[in-house]
Structure 1
Amino acid sequence: MPEPVSIGLIGAGIMGERMLRAILAQSPELVRAAGIWDPSAEAMARIAGELPQVARMRDPAAVIAASDCVYVASPPASHLGHAREALAAGKSVFCEKPLAIDVADSRAFVTEAGRRGAVNFPFASSPAVSQLQDWVAAGTIGGSRRIVIEVAFATWPRSWQADAAGWLDRREQGGFTREVVSHFLFLSRRLGGTLHGLQASVSFPEADRSERRIEARLLAGDIPVTLTGSVGTTQKDDHNIWMLEGEGGAIRLCDWSLAEQRQPDGSWQRAPDALTQLEARPVALRRQLEGVAKLARGEPHQLATLEEALNVQEIVEAILAS
């Protein structure tokens, strides 16, 4: 049996802590936590109090030195600096999206990194997405005709992200298009093909704040995609629908984790084994970590590739620049 893969974490915010807890929940024969670092003394103190068994490193270099694979969960502007240092040390990299805030820098990084990196788009390991793929493979919808993406939020950032509003609600690094829409663009790319042919509009009604509304049309391979997103148009913290319609029917993903199939009478029937987001998250995280172990060993994996993430970032940034 291969040795467990040692994963070091840079960033102890929401995503960093979530991934750390997921690592600790796995079999130690698969992965182990090498240690964590964050520039915030408060964040490190929180980890010390809640997860004292995890090594708290003095700096990013110490995390990299102790790891087989480095998970980068810091704010986007710092992603590629940490990722490049890890690659230079001979380690693999699992990065939060987006790769960077500069598309040209991301393109250069993808060329540099080769196959030693991947990006954390959990739909790559989602049980609900697997159900959608099974329905497509079974010919449930016939030939694909269009994809429709709808996202809406009561406020931005979402209530549970308030502590990160300093960058999540700023135009340089934040906004729901980068943070949320990117996931559904990744799903469209993986099921449809390369994203291209974008026409879009965006609204920034508040100075130096992130977007409040977007509309876009593009193609995923040869499938037309319609995208809308807005803030303040729902009472839900987070509402989203991704729908694939074909010549013989339609399937959709609702609120991150609920796979549904349209019935002849127009109603929607949920997959019998559908999981809520809270139930599905640990399953997807486990599968993601299995993929990280394969990435670190140089084996084929299902994780989002750097090329897929770059394509998504190119579309996201073009929407925001429109």
Structure 2
Amino acid sequence: MKNGSVAIGIIGAGIMGERLLGAILQQDPALIRVCGIWDPSPDAMRRMERTFPGVPRLADAGAVIAASDCVYVASPPASHLGHARAALAAGKSFFGEKPLAVDVADARAFVAAAGSRGAVNFPFASSLAVATLRDWIDKGEIGAPQRIHVEVGFRIWPRPWQADAVAWLDGPAQGGFTREVVSHFLFLARRIAGPLHGLDGEAWFPEAGKSERRISASLHAGDLPVTLGGSVGETAKDDHNVWVLEGDRGAVRLCDWSIAERRLPNGSWQPAPDAMPNERARPLALKRQLEGVTRLARGEAHHLATLEEALNVQEIVEAILAGSSTPQRG
């Protein structure tokens, strides 16, 4: 590799694997390229053949690792650390989907051994809307930060576009909106305000064998109190979310993934002049994520979510889910 093109191998041909693959193919191949993809599902591999006929479809995870400089792991959560350990053992770097894992003790052991050779795909690390929030905060527009509030809601879970992954996305062992979505906003709180700690949280599992349908939590990010709520079936939107940082002189918020807004003196909210819906913002964030992956693979400093940050988020997520008011079944 050295100063040549960084070869990315992909394990997992689901929604996220396909999304990152498409993003890599939009980049300069002299900087970053796809060396192959593998998924244990024959149907998924046939879909890759139809959709990306020029991308090598490799025989197994080992073949992907062998061909790569950096391995992108986009398989279901319980398999993340197995592939990550294999990549690191082969001398490759690792870029993985969140959550880092579902077993907290295993994740702690992995992070302790992995050092700086891995990162996790929290796109808020590369979000232009988040950069706008940071700029407003740094300019003192909200005064001294006081508190953070996060609210997420879904018409149904999984969301319609995730229907193919319902088998694990709606199970309590690996799935649920807290792992899949809330984790992003916890990462944002940590990146802005500091380590997450002091949790008091609860999750509700009203349907046997299904993931949570509601959560409520309070915690701290650094010195700031954080309140968090989430639910399924209480909104008409497929996916609605808001992350709010209140200060002593104002407030800023991120709405529906990509709209940065600031509160005006009259109490109304004003979007940033360059605000755009997530469909337009996502490719820009993915490009910036891939710039970070290139630096990760070269052993250079990067802006991606570190393993330590991802572990802190996972610890909070799993603690919320463990604080269930109805015993998980199935």
Provide TM-score, normalisation by structure 1. 0.99
Distance in 2 (alpha carbons) for counterparts of 1:45 and 1:171: 29
Are residues 1:239 and 2:240 paired? yes
SS at match of 2:149: strand
Residues 1-322 of structure 1 correspond to what in structure 2 (within 5 A)? 2-322=3-323
Shift of 1:101: 1.1
Shift of 1:136: 0.7
Q: Deviations over 1:146-167 (max 9, x none)?
A: 0000000000000000110000
Q: Deviations over 1:71-94 (max 9, x none)?
A: 000000100100000000000000
Amino acid in structure 1 at the alignment position of 2:15: I
Q: Is there any run of 5+ residues in structure 2 with no aligned partner, and where?
A: 324-330
Distance in 1 (alpha carbons) for counterparts of 2:322 and 2:13: 30
SS at match of 1:207: coil
Shift of 1:267: 0.4
Q: Deviations over 1:268-319 (max 9, x none)?
A: 0000011210110000000000000000001000000000000000000000
SS at match of 2:187: helix
Distance in 2 (alpha carbons) for counterparts of 1:202 and 1:89: 39
Shift of 1:208: 1.1
Distance in 1 (alpha carbons) for counterparts of 2:39 and 2:20: 14
Shift of 1:2: 1.8
Shift of 1:201: 1.4
Q: Is there any run of 5+ residues in structure 1 with no aligned partner, and where?
A: none
Distance in 1 (alpha carbons) for counterparts of 2:273 and 2:57: 43
Amino acid in structure 2 at the alignment position of 1:313: Q
Shift of 1:30: 1.5
Distance in 1 (alpha carbons) for counterparts of 2:243 and 2:306: 21
Amino acid in structure 1 at the alignment position of 2:188: L
Shift of 1:50: 1.2
CA RMSD of aligned residues (A): 0.7
Distance in 2 (alpha carbons) for counterparts of 1:103 and 1:233: 30
Distance in 1 (alpha carbons) for counterparts of 2:29 and 2:138: 35
Q: Deviations over 1:45-104 (max 9, x none)?
A: 011011100000000000000000000000001001000000000000001011111000
Provide TM-score, normalisation by structure 2. 0.97
Q: Identity over the aligned pairs, expressed in percent?
A: 70
Shift of 1:112: 1.1
Distance in 1 (alpha carbons) for counterparts of 2:5 and 2:288: 15
Q: Deviations over 1:174-227 (max 9, x none)?
A: 000000000000000000100000001111000110000000000000000000
Instruction: Give the 4+ runs in structure 1 shifted more than 4 A.
Output: none
User: What's 2:328 paired with?
Assistant: none
Distance in 2 (alpha carbons) for counterparts of 1:41 and 1:189: 39
Shift of 1:169: 0.3
SS at match of 1:243: strand
Amino acid in structure 2 at the alignment position of 1:176: F
Amino acid in structure 1 at the alignment position of 2:25: L
Distance in 2 (alpha carbons) for counterparts of 1:72 and 1:112: 18
Distance in 2 (alpha carbons) for counterparts of 1:263 and 1:136: 14
Distance in 1 (alpha carbons) for counterparts of 2:30 and 2:182: 35
Q: Deviations over 1:232-282 (max 9, x none)?
A: 000000000000000010000000000000001110000001121011000
SS at match of 1:161: helix
Distance in 2 (alpha carbons) for counterparts of 1:264 and 1:29: 49
